[in-house]
Amino acid sequence: MTKKRVVVTGVGAVTPVGNNVETAWNNVLAGVSGVGPLTRLNADEYPAKVAAEVKDFQVEDFIDKKDARKMDRFTHYAVAAAKMAVEDSRLEINDSNSHNIGVWIGSGIGGMETFESQYETFLSRGYRRVSPFFVPMMIPDMATGQVSITLGARGFNSCTVTACATGTNSIGDAFKVIQRGDAIAMVTGGAEAPITKMSVAGFCANTALSTNPDPSKASRPFDQNRDGFVIGEGAGIVVLEELEHALARGAKIYAEIVGYGATGDAYHITAPAPGGEGGARAMKMAINDAGLNFNEVDYVNAHGTSTDYNDRFETLALKEVFGEHAYKLAVSSTKSMTGHLLGAAGGVEAIFSVLAIKEGMIPPTINYETPDPECDLDYVPNEARKQEVQVAMSNSLGFGGHNATIVFKAYK
């Protein structure tokens, strides 16, 4: 069976660095951080004092107020980003094609905010006062559900939950749906709203979050003085489309998605496998799936969380995969500016990867001040770089040992 070619024709995002793709992209190129003081919660109750919060988001711009009250915040972000992506792609969804257009959006945590607030209601007022919308607001697949309802997309419909690999797994799996001929287009990515009491408490308890109180310096991937990730929120959604369908309707094409790899560490619930071997296998799988040579990759949007193990082991994995070419790669972590959006990270970072190809600009890793001898690659420190990018790779690694990699290349 001949594999279909698949291209990116639309992008949409809600992020800590901007509530649309244009603003977010301009800000990451300018090295603007979306990290600020933790305001959604009482910061005095937590060792982590900073977060990458979405700012000035008006849900009514995208969803009727009455309907919005029946959705968790992660779903608000997903619906908004999906609407922007479909509008950007100018893909018309109607009765003639809706059965062949699908949605695959993941969330690592789902409606945690809804769960917490409804549990408090249950404890204080009993089960009769729990909202009838509690379950459909909370479950992680409801981003996909609400987006498909909003768009009228009746095709392949699914949800991935693989912790911080969620967004990348979702896009990779949606890519395969189109490649094998089960859809002509997929609206796909990740959404997350994890800045809640219990989420932050849990990440603080397992010492994953940065306790640096300075918002401008807390997220510092690959820097020797990194001390944990900064929790973020938002959504990143792309429209993937079968090439012939995109060409037939005159769609603009950002890039072609050509490779996907996904592996499991089978090692530990939170720590990556020694040497990042699981991540290395995912990268090799994705590059082989793309039919590329390893030295053809120009740019890697790294998982780069600003945690000790992740940054060190991802660096080792890149060296294992690319050998001497690892030192010729541009490797950057946009989490230095967006914070870590958990299940939404892969969606947002996929967008930054295709824009690096389309615009010939590589976003920087900000806050890179003190080199770590064990992290010795070219992390595009502090300033964006004008450089032609033919092939870009995006990595996402999650609790539970999930590793996911996708590869994009310039469309020709």
Catalytic annotation on 159? no
Catalytic annotation on 303? yes
- The residue annotated as part of the active site, out of 76, 159, 245, 303, is 303
- The residue annotated as part of the active site, out of 164, 245, 375, 402, is 164
pLDDT score recorded for residue 367 = 98
List of domains in the chain: 6-248 (3.40.47.10), 260-409 (3.40.47.10)
pLDDT score recorded for residue 252 = 97
pLDDT score recorded for residue 166 = 98
pLDDT score recorded for residue 284 = 98
Q: What is the pLDDT of residues 29-56, one digit of tens each?
A: 999 999 999 999 999 999 999 999 999 9
pLDDT score recorded for residue 58 = 97
Beta pairing, strands 402-409 & 391-398? antiparallel
pLDDT score recorded for residue 2 = 87
- The residue annotated as part of the active site, out of 76, 245, 340, 402, is 340
Residues (pLDDT < 70) of the chain are: none
pLDDT score recorded for residue 1 = 73
Catalytic annotation on 268? no
